[in-house]
Amino acid sequence: MPPPPPVTAEALADRLREGPLRTLLTLQVRAGMLAADADDDGRLEKLIELVQLAHVAMSQFHAFTLDLQSVVDDLTAAAAKRN
């Protein structure tokens, strides 16, 4: 299997928007819905779902951060070679 294509700075904005930011927005919406719901039935399950969603968002953000660091490292190395 060939290696994945290198991550570009341009692709990072899309990845951030479609990955962790979208998941965090979903988390915010669900938390707001839970806060507005006065019914205690299923509240624990909904809280557990929020925790799981928060973990997913943070995992996505961590992966994004690693890719961002890789792009910065590549750009730094390229600039150093030119000098």
The CA distance from 33 to 44, in Å, is: 14
Per-residue pLDDT of 5-34, as tens digits, reads: 677 888 899 999 999 999 999 999 999 998
Q: Is 20 exposed, middle or buried (0-12, 13-18, 19+ CB in 10 A)?
A: buried
- Contact at 8 Å (CB) between 30 and 50? yes
At 27 the pLDDT is 95
Local structure of residue 2 (DSSP, 8 states): P
- Residue 1: pLDDT band (50, 70, 90) is confident
- Residue-averaged pLDDT of the chain: 89
